[in-house]
Amino acid sequence: MQAHRLLAHPAHPPARVTGIEARVIGFDADWLRVRWRIEGAQALVIPPFAGRGRADELWRTTCFELFLRPNGGDRYVEFNLSPSERWAAYDFSSYRDGMADRPASREPDCTMRQGSTFAIFDAAIPADALPQLPADANFAAVIEEQGAVVSYWALAHPAARADFHDPACFTARVAPPRGA
């Protein structure tokens, strides 16, 4: 599946992270599987294990995000996925407006693995929690490194301020699985 190279926001450069790629690695009737690969992850701060469950403000430390906007409309969905195994899902009626918890029949499954110079974060999102597909997408990540260095990564950064919700960031596409 296509890899999407994320860009660090220029106002918030990383310390050691040199690149992040995100991609859909699988999609069936039950799960959408997404992977983020972080290069230069030696100083990555990983939130402590907390067990599955909904939580707000996951973006305050290392967190991976997926935004989906069906049919090019104003409505979109945000998924926040943490290496702690906590997660959040929100519906928005338009740009940063009308935020509400999005229901999910099952909890996402999140796994973080670290190598010597890279880390891999995999998330499986229940298919019934997804909006109607195909959808425009923004793959994003908040990366905290040792020394309280926080960088913001997305497919695009059209503004001086990091903003994953900006419609101009939705440059990828997620389609339903073949045969669905």
Does residue 55 carry a pLDDT above 70? yes
Instruction: Return the sign of the alpha-carbon dihedral for residues 42, 2, 59, 110.
Output: negative
Average pLDDT of the chain, as a whole number:
95
Residue 180 domain-assigned? no
Q: What CATH number has the domain bearing residue 144? A: 2.60.40.1190
Q: How far is CA 33 from CA 69, 88, 174, in A?
A: 18, 16, 11
- What phi, psi does 40 have (nearest 5°)? 75, 40
Q: What is the pLDDT of residues 135-168, one digit of tens each?
A: 999 999 999 999 999 999 999 999 999 999 999 9
Total domains present in the chain: 1
CA distance 121 to 35: 6
- 18-39: burial string, b at 16+ Cβ within 10 Å, e else: eebebbbeebeeebbbbbbbbe
Residue 179 domain-assigned? no
> How much is the average pLDDT of 118-122?
98
Q: pLDDT value at position 56?
A: 96
Task: For residue 30, give its domain range.
Answer: 4-174
The model's confidence at residue 179, banded by pLDDT at 50, 70 and 90, is low
